[in-house]
Amino acid sequence: MAVVTTPPLRPAPHRDLCTDCGVSRMADHKACGRACQFIAPDYPGLEARVHGRARDVTKPDELHFGPFRRMLRARLAEPRPGAQWTGITTRIAERLLETGAVDAVLTMAPDPADRWKPVPVLVTDPADLAACRGMRMGYAPLLALLEPARAAGHRRLAVIGIPCQVHALRALEAELGFERLYVIGTPCSDNTTTERFHQFLTLLDAAPDSITYLEFRADFLVEIRHDDGRVRTVPFLQLPISQLPPDFFPLTCRTCVDYTNVLADLTVGYMGGQGEQWLIVRNARGEELLGTLGDEVVLSTPGSAGKRAGAVRGFIANTRRAAGGLPLRRMPDWLRPIVGWLMPRIGPRGLEFARARVEMKAAETVIHLAREEPRRMRHMIPAHVWRLVAPYGLAPSSAPDVKGNRT
């Protein structure tokens, strides 16, 4: 694959809460203090800078998903081989290069030695983006390539990143000196190291190395594909989550407040798509990105069904037990198939499923920070997160170190 990569990266200095977005590997590694979402994020300020306004919390969907112009269900009319869904993200990136809108695309590709390990790459040939399709699991210093991109003379850049990477990018954007920056964001629910992910795969299948594709679908099933062509699905409730070590998901991912990538121009996810992809067009540049697809993309209005409150309360109860070191409440084996059959039919679906996931992540943040890093709560938890968890009895007063952060 003809990509431009960095010389050997600088080592990352130790950080207590760090997803190795790449900023600590840049020439000014102290920029972390200005960029990191785990130090003192200013979401209202950054939202206003990027989108022209902060989220309007009086609008329920903006409270959950951040500022947006419109939300859509979407799929490519001709799905791309090897894509995680139909390939919307990489196809937009291809179109940006094909039309000359950008000089390069900063994204992730698989490590040649491990299909699941992400490696940051700069792509200048649209044909090379096919190798970047699909899901990776792990941390990779994406933003460490910003300086090499600039040194190579790239002035117009597209970046495809997860929320912690995009937050740091936006916080430093004015300092970077690019003429134009397009940001395509993918939601991120939970991440872990690639090594830990391999442990998870060994619990899923007797031949974990044969797994080539894994997707947590919005119909409460996990789809697994193998290199011999086999495809199978596993209900969420039958996943071996309770067998994972307590630190499988690091504290950073258990305390992230930005599931929907609110600082991207365009968010491309699936939680609200009911079997298709879910687009959140956030600003004029997001409209421009979507417009590159023309009639290649099929669009429709997202649906919403079911009620989320029960699912969120159950999640909070188990999260409290896990945070306190107690074993998760396990559902009896005989009941799992029944509940697994019911969930896609009566549980939250479409946008209601996405709202549920955002509230779960917000509650998870509050619970784990209160347990492990209460002194950080005042600075790490934005006001809108307290609004999200208030219906479930979580409030700043429940933690001793969050005085004055009431909404």
- Model pLDDT for residues 72-109, shown as the tens digit of each residue: 999 999 999 888 889 999 999 999 999 999 999 999 99
User: Mean pLDDT highest for which of 114-118, 283-287, 394-398?
Assistant: 283-287
Q: Is the pLDDT of residue 6 over 70?
A: no
pLDDT computed for residue 12 by the predictor: 79
Q: Is the pLDDT of residue 398 over 80?
A: no
- Model pLDDT for residues 367-379, shown as the tens digit of each residue: 999 999 999 999 9
Q: Are 32 and 15 in contact (CB under 8 A)?
A: yes
Q: Taking CA 123 as the corner, what is the angle to CA 191 and CA 217, rounded to the nearest 5 degrees?
A: 35
13 assigned to some structural domain: no
Q: Is the pLDDT of residue 197 over 50?
A: yes
Task: Specify the 3-state DSSP secondary structure of 86.
Answer: coil
Which of 248, 270, 293 terminates a domain? The answer is: 248
**Percent of the chain surpassing pLDDT 90:** 70
pLDDT band at 407 (very low <50, low <70, confident <90, very high): very low
* Same domain flag for 288 and 202: no
Mean pLDDT of 20-42: 92
Q: Which two tokens stand for residue 52?
A: 């022209």
Q: What is the pTM of this model?
A: 0.91
Per the structure, the count of domains in the chain is 3
* Same domain flag for 317 and 286: no
- Model pLDDT for residues 156-186, shown as the tens digit of each residue: 999 999 999 999 999 999 999 999 999 999 9
* Same domain flag for 170 and 97: yes
pLDDT computed for residue 121 by the predictor: 95
Closest CA to 291 of 112, 142, 74: 74
pLDDT computed for residue 333 by the predictor: 56
DSSP code of 236?
A: G
Tell the burial category of 325 from Cβ atoms under 10 Å away from its Cβ (0-12, 13-18, 19+): exposed
Q: Are 15 and 24 in contact (CB under 8 A)?
A: yes
CA of residue 91 relative to chain centroid, distance: 19
> Average pLDDT, whole number, for the chain?
88
* Same domain flag for 379 and 283: no
pLDDT computed for residue 403 by the predictor: 34
pLDDT computed for residue 346 by the predictor: 61
* Same domain flag for 388 and 282: no
Closest CA to 164 of 38, 276, 285: 38
Q: Taking CA 19 as the corner, what is the angle to CA 377 and CA 207, rounded to the nearest 5 degrees?
A: 120
Query: Which amino acid is residue 206, in one-letter code?
Result: A
CA of residue 387 relative to chain centroid, distance: 21
Instruction: Provide the Cα torsion 127, 178, 263, 257; round to 10°.
Output: 100
Lowest mean pLDDT among 128-132, 194-198, 324-328: 324-328
* Same domain flag for 207 and 90: no
179 assigned to some structural domain: yes
Closest CA to 221 of 234, 206, 232, 210: 234
* Same domain flag for 158 and 292: yes
171 assigned to some structural domain: yes
Mean pLDDT of 104-122: 94
CA of residue 269 relative to chain centroid, distance: 8
Closest CA to 261 of 16, 48, 68, 45: 68
Q: Which two tokens stand for residue 289?
A: 């990105």
Q: Is the pLDDT of residue 11 over 80?
A: no
* Same domain flag for 107 and 202: no
Mean pLDDT of 387-404: 73
Q: Are 92 and 184 in contact (CB under 8 A)?
A: yes
* Same domain flag for 183 and 210: no
Q: Are 290 and 297 in contact (CB under 8 A)?
A: yes
pLDDT band at 222 (very low <50, low <70, confident <90, very high): confident
pLDDT computed for residue 91 by the predictor: 97
pLDDT computed for residue 2 by the predictor: 47
Write out the residue range of the structural domain in which residue 353 sits: 304-395
Which of 248, 283, 315 terminates a domain? The answer is: 248
281 assigned to some structural domain: yes
Q: Are 101 and 179 in contact (CB under 8 A)?
A: no
* Same domain flag for 41 and 120: yes
Q: In what order do the strands lie in the sheet with 211-216?
A: 211-216, 221-226, 231-235
pLDDT computed for residue 221 by the predictor: 82
Lowest mean pLDDT among 210-224, 262-276, 391-405: 391-405
401 assigned to some structural domain: no
* Same domain flag for 207 and 276: no
2 assigned to some structural domain: no
- Model pLDDT for residues 267-326, shown as the tens digit of each residue: 999 889 888 999 999 999 999 999 999 999 999 999 999 999 999 998 899 888 877 654
| Cα distance between residue 11 and residue 26, in whole Å | 10
Question: Strand locations in 136-210, DSSP E?
Answer: 156-161, 180-185
* Same domain flag for 208 and 176: no
360 assigned to some structural domain: yes
- The residue with greater pLDDT, 246 or 112, is 112
Q: Are 394 and 366 in contact (CB under 8 A)?
A: yes
92 assigned to some structural domain: yes
